[in-house]
Amino acid sequence: MNNAILFRKMVNDYNALAYTHKYIFGYTHKGIVYAVKTESDVLPYVCTLDRASRGAGYSLRFKPNKAQKETLASLNPAVLCSVEYFNAELSASKYNAGELFEKLVTESYGQTWTKDNVPFTAGGDIEVDGIAYQIKYEKATFTNEKTLARLKAAR
């Protein structure tokens, strides 16, 4: 299958299975960590197709390049913190960058963060004003072909 077709299929399949179609994406630019609220219509513009690990085919990832960061920058991002602060927190933390970003975003909304493993089909990472959001930081994997096939077969 052509990679562009596979990419579009994975985005569509993910959206068909996802609990929420609202996202908070995190990215860095010029020493600042930004958080931007978006909807699922932005996924084709900020995600990429990548090789999944362990024989799971391809993966749908949020690994923004310069042009994709410019797209996100046009969507009214909020400053979350400096990259310096983020990296210092990361060094002192037992969590990975995505988990730390999720924690900082959650706390920025005055909520208490706890690590969980809620599947993307069952809930969001945070609820703000009654709206569930998935939170994704640079290099995050949304899903892979193997997972999508398994979830679609279980429907």
Strands 22-29 and 131-137: parallel
> How far is it, in rounded angstroms, from Cα 40 to Cα 59?
17
Q: Does some domain include residue 154?
A: no
User: Is the residue at 26 inside a domain?
Assistant: yes
Instruction: Tell me the per-residue pLDDT of 83-123, one tens digit each, with 9 for 90 and over.
Output: 999 999 999 999 999 999 999 999 999 999 999 999 999 99
Query: What strands lie across the sheet with 131-137, from one edge to the other?
Result: 78-82, 32-39, 22-29, 131-137, 126-128
pTM of the model as a whole = 0.94
Round to whole Å and give the CA distance between 94 and 151: 30
- Domain hosting 120: range is 3-148
Flag whether 155 is in a domain.
Answer: no
- The answer to whether position 153 is within a domain reads no
Task: Give 39-83 pLDDT, tens digit per residue.
Answer: 999 999 999 999 998 888 999 999 999 999 999 999 999 999 999
The Cα diameter of the chain in Å comes to 45
Domain count, the chain: 1
